[in-house]
Amino acid sequence: MAYLFSPVLIFCLSIAFAFSGYSQNKLEKEYRIKSSEVPKLALDFIAQGPFDKKIKWYAEESQDGNSIEAKTIYKNRKYSIEFDTEGNPQDVEQKIPFTSISEGLRKQIQNSLDSIFIKSKVKKTQKQWIASRSTLIALINNKTTTENYSVNYELVLKGKKNQRYSYYELLYDHSGSLLKVLKIVNANTDNLLY
């Protein structure tokens, strides 16, 4: 017997399956390491940046694998630079106020949050750059570049779903499309909000 599915049912099912792919747990363990434990490629990358404050190095274990992270402050902005275990840069994140995102994009993100959570409060917003090594160095140094790069926005928030509050990490692209939702479990709140 053949079943016929209405276009509306197919659309609803595809949305449900797509969103279920976003809904995962973020399991992360982060601990300090010495600069002597950091790969040379990562040290060289940091040396090409404008950073004048001390660099704090962390090893990170998560559901996505292992990585190394450098955290520092430059011109009163917190930076987080993630590297793979070989020292190749994965992304650069700059902590920004949520209100510094353009009004149209901020409204689109807020509408998305309102559709996911009963209540939510953004605790941290980061602008994320993903690009080649040389392009990331140019962006960190506030230089213009003609190379391609991606800009995303990572939000850490306290959200209420199903009558319970939890911490979540959400990733949006530059046009406000939701890329990922992770429920944060066993979070070290100090490191989470750095």
Mean pLDDT of 81-90: 97
Has residue 12 been placed in a domain? no
Query: Alpha-carbon distance 188 to 15, whole Å?
Result: 32
Q: Give the number of other Cβ atoms within 10 Å of residue 9's Cβ.
A: 10
Number of domains the chain contains: 1
Task: Catalogue the E-assigned strands of 84-163.
Answer: 89-96, 119-130, 150-161
Has residue 144 been placed in a domain? yes
Has residue 17 been placed in a domain? no
- Exposure string for 97-116, b = 16+ CB within 10 A, e = fewer: eeeebeeeebebbeebbeeb
Q: Is the pLDDT of residue 150 over 80?
A: yes
CATH number at residue 120: 3.10.450
* 1: enclosing H helix or E strand: none
Mean pLDDT of 70-80: 94
Has residue 185 been placed in a domain? yes
Domain that holds residue 128: 24-192
Has residue 1 been placed in a domain? no
Which one-letter amino acid corresponds to residue 175?
A: S
Pairing outcome for strands 119-130 and 23-33: unpaired
Report the pLDDT value the prediction gives residue 64, as an integer from 0 to 100.
79
pLDDT (tens digit, 9 = 90+) per residue, 96-141?
999 999 999 999 999 999 999 999 999 999 999 999 999 999 999 9
Taking the alpha carbons of 57, 122, 154, 163 in that order, is the dihedral positive or negative?
positive
End-to-end CA distance of the chain: 58
Question: Strand, helix or coil at 64?
Answer: coil
pLDDT (tens digit, 9 = 90+) per residue, 12-37?
333 444 444 445 887 778 999 999 99
